[in-house]
Chains A and B, each alone.
Chain A
Amino acid sequence: MTIALTLLSAAFVLIGALFALVASIGLLRLPDLYSRMHAASKAGTVGSGLLLIALAIHAGEAGVMARALAGVIFFLLTAPISAHLLAKAAYAVGYRLGPTAVRDEMASTVEEQTSGSI
């Protein structure tokens, strides 16, 4: 049983580190801010969350597991909020999609937003 838990922890560590690497490569390679945000906020959250779950499995104590899982839930709650806030602020200020973007569905709403609420 402990062998299985140790192997599971090792697998989670490797998979989490690979997710973080994929997120950072996406942050470097994608063309504009919003697609970079797509890479960083999803894959990055999964990467650090898997590493924290690996720590929770490896530690085996109830207190450490509870804290690590609380950290995972905290990141799962806050990463979309911060990414959404950043994207909304950047779009409202006037940062537009990159040249390879096919379609900008908020282009019709941004005029009313900037003149109205913001």
Chain B
Amino acid sequence: MSEANLILDYAVDLSLWILSLSFLVTLIRVIRGPTLPDRVLALDMLVAVAIGFIAVIGIKTGYVLYVDIAIALGLVGFLTTVAFARFILTRGKTEDDLLEEHNQAERLKNRPPRHAPARGDKQGEGAATAERPSASPPTSSDASAPTSSDATKERP
């Protein structure tokens, strides 16, 4: 009996170390994760590891009231993941879309001082109008296209 309890003590201590390690490894993914769903998934995993941690602490201390805390934490983690999934769905954009919009906003902000003199002396030369389709219309059409597609995406 005492040997078995000793083995259980060692197993509990070792598993606490292992769970701490897995907590840290999951935390690396939370910090580094390139996109929002990666971070949400890693937070879900953190909740699962925390529930296991609570169960091991309950074994170690014999304080079994921790089981209720584990169940409540599992409920909160589930609702958090569902809420984040709804948020990802209603945001409707990936990180690449947001980066592209930001770059286009920067381009639009920087453009008017550059084009104001070109628009002043544009009467009659064909070279400028021949240049312009390569330079400005793609940016203007790109600037109008994502907003209209986003509007249609967010309406329903």
- Give the interface of A toward B (CB within 8 A): 2-3, 6-7, 9-11, 13-14, 16-18, 20-21, 23-25, 27-28, 33, 36-37, 40-41, 44-45, 47-48, 51-52, 54-55, 58-59, 61, 64, 67-68, 70-71, 74-75, 78-79, 81-83, 85-86, 88-90, 92-95, 114, 118
Mark interface residues in B47-78 (1 if CB within 8 Å of A CB, else 0). Answer: 01101100110110000100110110011001
Q: Are A78 and B49 in contact (CB under 8 A)?
A: no
> A64–B69 Cα gap in the complex (Å)?
12
Number of interface residues of B (CB under 8 A): 58
Asked whether B11 lies within 8 Å of A93 as measured between CB atoms, the reply is: no
A37 touches B48 (CB 8 A): no
User: Does B92 have its Cβ within 8 Å of any Cβ on chain A?
Assistant: yes
Contact with A along B11-33 (1 / 0, CB 8 A): 11011101101110110110000
Interface of B: prevailing SS: helix
Nearest B residue to A63 by beta-carbon distance? B64
A7-B22 contact, Cβ under 8 Å, with A20-B48, A55-B58: no
Binds A, one of B36-44, B112-120, B133-141: B36-44
Nearest CB of chain A from residue B47's CB, rounded to whole Å: 9
Q: Which of A11, A20, A89 makes the CB contact (< 8 A) with B85? A: A89
Residues of A within 8 A of B94 (CB): 93-95
Contacts of B40 in A (CB 8 A): 86
Residues of B within 8 A of A (CB): 1, 4-5, 7-8, 10-12, 14-16, 18-19, 21-23, 25-26, 28-29, 35, 37-38, 40-42, 44-45, 48-49, 51-52, 55-56, 58-59, 64, 67-68, 70-71, 74-75, 78, 81-82, 84-86, 88-89, 91-94, 97, 153, 156
Quote the shortest CB–CB distance from B146 to chain A (angstroms).
12
Contacts of B21 in A (CB 8 A): 21, 24
Q: Which residues of B contact A70 (CB under 8 A)?
A: 71
